[in-house]
Amino acid sequence: MALLTQQQQQQVAEAVTRAEQRTDAEIVTVLAPRADDYSYIPLLWASLIALLVPAVLHFLSSGMAIYSLLMAQWATFVFLSLIFRIPAITTRLIPPRVRYWRASNLARRQFLEQKLHQTEGRTGVLIFVSEAERYVEILVDEGISRHLDDSDWGTIVSDFTRRVALGHTAEGFITCIEACAALLEKHVPRTQPRNQLPNRLVLL
């Protein structure tokens, strides 16, 4: 199921088209439901907790047989492995640093896969969102970074991140694109008509 409706996707594409009429930058938008399936996380937490079960049970009831302790350990592992696979629970088990690291890696892979490093004048701009991690990042090629520092995008990213957290991803995309266009128009204005990359929203 799409994260955005067809109408919302079209609105994002139209916002990119309008933005690229004001700047030489080539803007690509990418939306991922999550940066990773984190399949190892439920198993990791279930294993760690299950390892503690025999010690806890032995402390509470020193008369338990080894067989009973092992069965309790296995039952705990299987039960928690299943429970921890529920998406809402899995997300809470992942340290923020891990979530952001995975999302950041995916953003950089998308920069290359969407060929943003091959544009004329090296003017590629990626607006990347991973919804589950509530992660937003803007990556630019050297043709843009010569004129703008990473700090110049900070306010735009913060505002977009807040909108994603509220569930207003489509609105966030459009607002972000318009803010980027205003900034890029000042520093990398349009000098010639060109459109080297698709304007559609890329859904992963």
Delimit the domains of the chain by residue range.
Answer: 6-37+95-203, 40-93
DSSP string, 75-97: HHHHHHHHHTTSHHHHHHHS-HH
Class (C level, CATH) for 6-37+95-203: alpha beta
- What length is written for the chain? 204
pLDDT digits (tens, 9 = 90+) for 64-120: 677 777 787 778 888 888 887 787 777 777 778 888 888 899 999 999 999 988 888
10 Å CB burial of residue 128 (0-12, 13-18, 19+) is buried
Edge-to-edge strand ranges of the sheet holding 135-140: 135-140, 124-130, 26-32, 202-203
pLDDT band at 62 (very low <50, low <70, confident <90, very high): low
pLDDT digits (tens, 9 = 90+) for 144-202: 989 888 888 999 999 999 999 898 999 999 999 999 999 999 988 988 877 888 889 99
